[in-house]
Amino acid sequence: MSIIIGIDAGISSTKIIGIENGERIMAPMAVKSGDASSAIYGALGKYLNDNDTTLESVEQVMLTGIGAKDLKSPILGRPTAKVDEFIANGMGARFDSGLNHMIVVSMGTGTSLARVDGDEIRHIGGIGMGGGSLQGLARLLLGTSNVKEISNMADKGNPAHVNLLIEDICKDELGNLTGDATASLFAKVLQRTPNDNDIAAGLIHMVLETIGSAAVLSQLNGGYKDFVLVGGLTESSLCREVFPLMEKLYSVHFHIPKYAPYCTALGAALSYKYENE
């Protein structure tokens, strides 16, 4: 058995995934990031233990992410190399989505955008809105930065209690703006005091809508209609609510592939496989 390990060492979490015998994708795993080297070494050890396999079965470790920048030694004595994070994003999203022409929207602590045209992958920019923004604002407004807790609250909340919608200001649709489209994020707080669940829902909607709009608007003249969402925020159930509305608004397609939270780690592992074919 030969395993290629991909590790994405991010600011808030370290994600790991394996490809066994060049084909089978092994179950991914995430651990909280603190000290980067401790998270990487710990993640690999736990991953091998949980998958009941040995260190000797690891043919190659591929590292990506900001936490991998300063690591110089082979990880646990196994051959180790690094891959550009944006390349890893593109390769993971291309494999997992089955698309060859897309914009990859990597929703991490912030958000980066990469353009994929077959084998050509290029970083095209990003915005400072992402999971870190959600956690920071939630800590200020809700007293918690725990993403799971925020998401559980949001599932019980109603973003229409904090966001001003088109239907709140106009009886008729405005062009392609339907009544449930957002006219102004958090503007309704000026009229009413929402509960914490509504605030949580409003925060997640704000982050996701801002990311989605920024991604689409970056490609107004680019001809791209497929946007592949990857990163930790894809685990929010509200993605299934927010992005279909944005698809109608912008006439595009947002895709959330199977391994979306782990696509960067997957792309890191795939980069070794691709280079050695």
- pLDDT tens profile 35-91: 778 888 888 989 999 999 999 999 999 999 988 887 877 888 899 999 999 999 999
pLDDT at residue 173 in the model: 67
Please give the backbone phi and psi of residue 64, each rounded to the nearest 5 degrees, phi first: -150, 170
Q: How many CB atoms lie within 10 A of CB 225?
A: 15
pLDDT at residue 201 in the model: 97
- pLDDT tens profile 2-44: 999 999 998 888 999 999 988 899 999 998 877 778 888 888 9
Alpha-helix residue ranges (DSSP H) falling in 15-98: 36-50, 85-97
Tell me if 33 sits within 8 A of 65, measured CB to CB: no
DSSP secondary structure string for all residues of 178-218: -TTSEEETTGGGGT----HHHHHHHHHHHHHHHHHHHHHHT
pLDDT at residue 177 in the model: 76
- pLDDT tens profile 183-214: 999 999 999 899 999 999 999 999 999 999 99
pLDDT class of 277 with cuts at 50, 70, 90: low
- Which pairing describes strands 226-230 and 253-255: parallel, antiparallel, or unpaired? parallel
* Mean pLDDT (the chain, rounded): 92
- pLDDT tens profile 121-173: 999 999 999 999 999 999 999 999 999 999 999 999 999 999 999 998 887 76
Tell me if 160 sits within 8 A of 185, measured CB to CB: no
* 86-115 average pLDDT score: 96
* 97-103 average pLDDT score: 97
- pLDDT tens profile 145-156: 999 999 999 999
Q: Which residues of 23-56 are buried (b: 16+ CB within 10 A; e: fewer)?
A: eebbebbbbebeebeebbbebbeebbeeeebeee
Strands (E), the chain: 3-9, 13-20, 24-25, 29-32, 58-64, 80-82, 101-107, 111-117, 120-127, 164-165, 182-184, 226-230, 253-255
